[in-house]
Amino acid sequence: MAGNPYKPMIPSPHLKQESPPGTGGGGSLQRSAESSLAPAPPHQEGRSHEPVSGATLENAVVRLLRERPFYGHFILNLRREERKMEGKPAGVTIRNGIPTLAVDPAAFGQLTAAGQHAVLEHLVKHLLHLHLLRRKGRNQHDWDVACDLAINPSTPGLPEGATYPADFKMPDGLAAEEYYDALVPPFDLGNLEGSGFGDAEQDSKGASGSGSGEAASTLDDHAIWEDADSTPLNLAEEMVRAVTMESLRGSDGEVPAEIREVVDGLMLPSSVPWRQILRQFVATAGRVGKKSTWMREHRRFSHNTPGTRKRHRLNLLVGIDVSDSTDIVEMREAFGRELVQIARGRDAHITVLYANSRIQRVESLTGSAFVPERYDGGGFTDLRPVFDYAKTMHPRPAAVIYLTDGVGPAPGEMEWPTLWVLTAKGEKPVPWGIELRLEV
């Protein structure tokens, strides 16, 4: 889709198993969303007539906003990209901590309007249930099938080929783990002739042979779920919680009955300490480069080939609001200690900007002692200069962390993963980015 890939309004993420079936200007949000999603102009004569996901997806989302607003707003808050998926219409993942929707233009365009709606709802449910990160060493093929079994019965209008519990003589309304246990026998001893298959082949065929869901396939692309392996479960949960919060605001708190329980679970206060979220955000955003490792079998090959291990290198930009609201000694000291620990534990370069309506001071942080200070520069608070500075950095930062009360203008969109570290009474200034409440 044209435009900034981070145009999704990634807002600021309790794991709940499946069960059967705020307030905010929802009306104005929907109208503005529909306006921003206006279909692209039709193809001119002589150009390719292959379906274009930009217009097709946008039309589908506009219809969802009208008919199923929670799902529509949830899709709006995902990063979006186009890619070929070997016949699958779409898929979701959490890449580097960012929930992402991938669409195959040709395959998605071949679906009926009802089929497109159902597929998008199906994808939202995968993210709400964190299916991407609950596999925990289980056979990939059977886990993929089990996840679809858990959500398909509550998703009407799915395209032909969708798999249902009745296909395996199972009841509706179980969790993915329960369907998986029913698909896979407790012991898989292979055969006595030594012709069993390794983990890589099991992942593609199923662990239990023809007696399980070996012939079944998933409706959407689950191969990209591997991208989520680099994101810790707690951070992914915070991200999904953030998207859910923004979706609730956009839909005036209306939640479809089939997902109300899992949404209620996500809205419970996070039990994860703020320090852990901060460290996981930095670790995820700062992963670059790869090197080989022989510690496990490669996912895509059944023979003994090296997998990969990611090498961490961190270039981070930290903004500190110099207004009175953040001039709390205990808060700044706690925040500073965490930054020092992050810098000491990594090959890190952290640039710290003190700013109000403009940048007051620039510092570089290494592993030495550091306490964020207060600088009285006068003027009002404007959050944009820090992001403008980020665009001038070489190399570009892997992520931006901003300690602020959130009161002030901010960019309408941003290309970097952003963590808003807010004061106890602070407000998230824009829908995109992760919200972290710093209370000491």
Tell me the pLDDT tens digit for each residue of 62-79: 999 999 999 999 999 999
Domain containing 22 equals 1-272
- Verify that 196 and 295 share a domain, yes or no: no
One domain for residues 239 and 358? no
Q: How many angstroms separate the first and last alpha carbons of the chain?
A: 42
Q: Which of 32-46, 108-122, 282-296 has the lowest mean pLDDT?
A: 32-46
Taking the C-alpha atoms of residue 204 and residue 211, their distance in angstroms, rounded to an integer, is 15
Domain count along the chain: 2
Rounded alpha-carbon distances, angstroms, from residue 45 to 1, 38, 42, 48, 49: 21, 21, 9, 9, 9
Q: Across the chain, which distance is largest between two alpha carbons, in Å? A: 80
* Region 377-404 average pLDDT: 86
State the pairing for strand pair 287-293/348-355.
Answer: unpaired
Phi, psi at residue 354, to the nearest 5°? Answer: -95, 125
Instruction: Please give the pLDDT value at position 432.
Output: 83
pLDDT at 294: 34
Bigger pLDDT: 337 vs 382: 382
Do 150 and 215 have their domain in common? yes
What is the predicted pLDDT for the residue at 14? 38
Q: Which of 245, 272, 299 is the last residue of a domain?
A: 272
Mean pLDDT, range 427-435, rounded to an integer: 85
pLDDT at 41: 37
Nearest CA to 271 out of 149, 136, 407, 437 is that of 437
- pLDDT-derived band of residue 46, with 50, 70 and 90 as boundaries? very low
Confidence of residue 398 (pLDDT cuts 50, 70, 90): confident
- Sorted by sequence, the CB contacts under 8 Å of residue 330 that are 6+ apart come out as 440
Who's near 106: CB < 8 A, 6+ residues apart?
50, 51, 84
pLDDT band at 96 (very low <50, low <70, confident <90, very high): confident
**183, pLDDT greater than 60:** yes
Highest mean pLDDT among 264-278, 293-307, 368-382, 398-412: 398-412
140-151 helix and 176-183 helix, angle to the nearest 10 degrees: 130
- pLDDT at position 281, please? 80
The three-class DSSP label of residue 326 is: helix
Least confident of 156-170, 203-217, 250-264: 203-217
Lowest mean pLDDT of 224-238, 245-259, 363-377, 414-428, name the range: 363-377
**Burial class of residue 214, CB neighbours in 10 A (0-12, 13-18, 19+):** middle
| Per-residue pLDDT, 61 | 94
Tell me which of 213, 240, 272 is where a domain ends.
272
Neighbours of 205 (CB within 10 A): 17
pLDDT computed for residue 372 by the predictor: 56
pLDDT at 222: 95
For 241-247, what is the mean pLDDT?
A: 90
* Contact (Cβ atoms closer than 8 angstroms) between residue 249 and residue 22: yes
326 or 60, greater pLDDT: 60
Domain stops at, among 236, 255, 272:
272
370: confidence class by pLDDT, cuts 50, 70, 90: low
Angle at 272 between CA 237 and CA 242, to 5 degrees: 35
- Residue of 354, 334, 350, 351 lying closest to 342 (CA atoms): 350
85 and 155, same structural domain? yes
pLDDT digits (tens, 9 = 90+) for 119-145: 999 999 999 999 999 988 899 999 999
Residue 34: band (very low, low, confident or very high) from pLDDT cuts 50, 70, 90: very low
pLDDT band for position 225 (50/70/90)? Answer: very high
What is the predicted pLDDT for the residue at 114? 95
Q: Are residues 280 and 263 in the same domain?
A: no
pLDDT value at residue 142: 94
The per-residue pLDDT for 145 is 95
353 and 206 share one domain: no
Q: Which residue has the higher pLDDT, 199 or 170?
A: 170
- φ and ψ at 167, to 5 degrees? -65, -20
Which whole number is the average pLDDT over 384-400? 91
pLDDT at 368 over 80: no
- Same domain, residue pair 131 and 219: yes
Mean pLDDT of 343-370: 76
Q: Transcribe 250-285 into DSSP letters.
A: HTTT---GGGHHHHHHHTSPP-S-HHHHHHHHHHHH
User: What is the band of 214 on the pLDDT scale with cuts at 50, 70, 90?
Assistant: low
Is 151 in the same domain as 300? no
Judge if 224 and 351 occupy the same domain: no
Amino acid 366: pLDDT: 59
Most confidently modeled range among 157-161, 275-279, 294-298, 366-370: 157-161
Comparing CA positions, the residue from 181, 322, 241 lying closest to residue 12 is 241
Indicate yes or no: pTM above 0.75.
no
260, 324: one domain: no
**Residues 196, 293: one domain?**
no
- Taking alpha carbons only, the member of 62, 61, 40 closest to residue 51 is 40
Helices (H), 13-129: 26-36, 53-67, 69-76, 105-109, 113-128
Residues 40 and 51 in one domain: yes
Q: What pLDDT is attached to residue 271? A: 58
Sign of the alpha-carbon torsion through 53, 58, 59, 65: positive
Q: Helix (H) and strand (E) counts for the chain?
A: 13, 11
d(CA 405, CA 398): 23
pLDDT digits (tens, 9 = 90+) for 300-348: 434 444 444 444 457 889 998 887 777 777 777 778 777 777 766 666 7
Tell me which residue has tokens 């640039």.
Answer: 351
